[in-house]
Structure formats: structure tokens, C-alpha cells
Structure 1
Amino acid sequence: MKTNLITREGFEKLQQEHDYLWNERRPEVTKIVTWAASLGDRSENADYQYNKRLLRQIDRRIRYLRKRLPDLKVVDYAAAQDGKVFFGAWVEIENEEGDTKHFRIVGPDEIYGEEVKHYISIDSPMARALLKKEVDDEVVVRTPEGNKEWFVNKISYQSPDQCKTD
């Protein structure tokens, strides 16, 4: 079962996706399907078949979003979180070899798409191991290859783009 937590930004993106699909994309595709259907034989009409399939995909996504959005709990930043890793934190970690990783801990609905390649789900083993840790804490993460050790270098609740510290 997926965690129902989501950041404010993630919730707004899902809401915008729903609104775009419902108010813009679906009506466009519906017009094309109606036009293609008016041409006659639908069995050999590629426009009709392709757009009908696209319409089903859009409708499936809209149904999912309508079911999922009311179940989500938006988690906003609170000053009490400073200094520790909690939901929504940007974290930089480093292993003994000096390899560093930088990512944000978010809800499972937020980890898909190109613009979120530095996001990990709160349900992931890495995120679970990092929760409540502080800078300089050691974290052991269980992986299929065995336990891996990481050290917490930085914790922030602002996007690295917004942070001017280094």
C-alpha cells in the first residue's frame, strides 16, 4: 500500500494534470474521435482507432486522479523539522568512497516524470533509513547487495535551486 502523503507542489501538479486532461486534452481528442467516426468504416480508420485508444488512456488517468486526490494528505514544511530529515527534505548523503547523492523525500505519487529525477519515495528503504537523522549521522541502508553505509552531509527544506549556501 502506498503512503498517502504528498508535498504541496506535488499535489498542485496532480491537480493541474487533472484539470488539463479534463478541460483541454479530453475535449480535443473527443472532437477528433467524433470527426473520424463520421468518416464511416471504423474498423480500418487509423485516426479513429488511435484516438479512441488515447481517449481511453486519458479517461483512465482522470479516473485514477479523481480517486487518488481526495485520499492524499498534503504535508507542508514546519520549522520544527529543521535539522532533521523528514518528509519533503532535500538531503545530501555520502558514502565511504566519497560518492554523493542529492535527493528529496516525497510521496510515491511524485516520483514519476523527467523533472523529478532527484526525488525518492518516502516508502523507499533509503528514505525510511534517513527519517529523523541529522547532519553527520551514519545511515545503514539494506539493499539486495547487502548493507550500505551513508553519512548525512546536508539537510534542507528548500530546493537546491533556491539555496545559495555552500
Structure 2
Amino acid sequence: MEKTYVTNEGFEKLRSELEYLKTTRRREIAKQLDYARSFGDLRENAEYEAAKHALQLNEIRINELEMKVSNAEIISKDSVVTDKVVIGTKVLLWDFDFDEEVEYEITGTEEADPSTGKISVNSPVASALLGHGVGEQIEVKAPRGSMKFEIKKISR
């Protein structure tokens, strides 16, 4: 299983969701199942089928989260070096295609949110940036085409 790279905040969010699904959500679904059973015949009981499906999805997500939590590698922002782009760094780039500066934070897949500038370490842009330093120009092959950047600044 591959490592799940997260910050302390991201790790706590995973653990919190896992705890919610294992306790509160399981109880909610159990109540739904009990209620649906009260209707009698389970063969043509849509409420029962929906509750069973919800239970299956919940258990799948619990398994996913348990794997991610057990394989988590917590990235401490204080220990992140800034001489090269690594997971946990913020990177200020010059985008040659749009003639503007853009800033990205390189995160694990669980914390990625492109709308806020957080991109997954597995994304084409982050993958191309990893290991490079200030002043280097990077060409990225992405689904929308080729993009060219220059690294202006690396920070925590």
C-alpha cells in the first residue's frame, strides 16, 4: 500500500472522519435498517435495500480510511526544506502561458484542493516540480497540453 502523505491537520481530519463513520454513522444506518425491517417483507422493500447499500458504502469508506491512517506519513511543515520542491512546500511560479505568477502548495492526495492552490503530489504539475529549485524552468505535459513554468520562490 502506498503512503498517505498528510499534515497533522489532514491526519486529524482522516481520524475524525473514521471515528464518525465507525460510531455515529453506523448507528444511524442501523436505525434505518431496523425501521425498514418494520415494514415486513424485505424482498420488495426499497428502504431496506437503500439502508443496506448505505451500510456497504460506509464499510468501504471505513476500510479505505483505516488503510490511509495506518499508512500515513505526517509531513511537519517545520521540517520541510525549501531548497528544492518537496511535498509540504509552497511554490511561487511564473506561468509563461498566462504571463502571471501562480502559487501552489504541494500536498498529499487527501488534502489536495486545486481551487485553493493545493495540488496533489501525484498531479502532473507537482510531479514535474518535485526536486527542482528556484530559477529552474519546468515544462509540464498535462491533459490540457504542455505548460511552462519558472520556479520563483519555495517556502513552507
TM-score over 0.5 (shorter chain): yes
Over the residues paired in the alignment, what is the CA RMSD in angstroms? Answer: 2.5
Are 1:89 and 2:86 an aligned pair? Answer: no
TM-superposed CA distance for 1:155, in Å, is 2.9
Distance in 1 of aligned mates of 2:89 and 2:80: 12
Distance in 1 of aligned mates of 2:148 and 2:21: 43
Q: Residue 146 and residue 39 in structure 1: after superposition, are their counterparts in 2 closer, same or farther (change >3 A)?
A: closer
TM-score under structure 1 length normalisation: 0.77
Question: Identity of aligned pairs, percent?
Answer: 32
TM-superposed CA distance for 1:80, in Å, is 5.9
Query: What is the number of residues matched between the two proteins?
Result: 154
The answer for the alignment partner of 1:107 in structure 2 is 108
Match runs of 1:9-158 below 5 Å: 9-79=9-79, 81-96=81-96, 97-111=98-112, 117=115, 118-144=117-143, 147-157=146-156
Structure 1: tracts of 5 or more residues without a match = 158-166
TM-score under structure 2 length normalisation: 0.81
TM-superposed CA distance for 1:82, in Å, is 3.2
The answer for the alignment partner of 1:161 in structure 2 is none
Equivalent position amino acid for 1:140 in 2: E
The answer for the alignment partner of 1:163 in structure 2 is none
Equivalent position amino acid for 1:120 in 2: I
CA deviations on 1:55-80 (whole Å, 9 max, x unpaired) are 11011100111122111211212356
TM-superposed CA distance for 1:45, in Å, is 2.3
Q: Residue 72 and residue 79 in structure 1: after superposition, are their counterparts in 2 closer, same or farther (change >3 A)?
A: closer
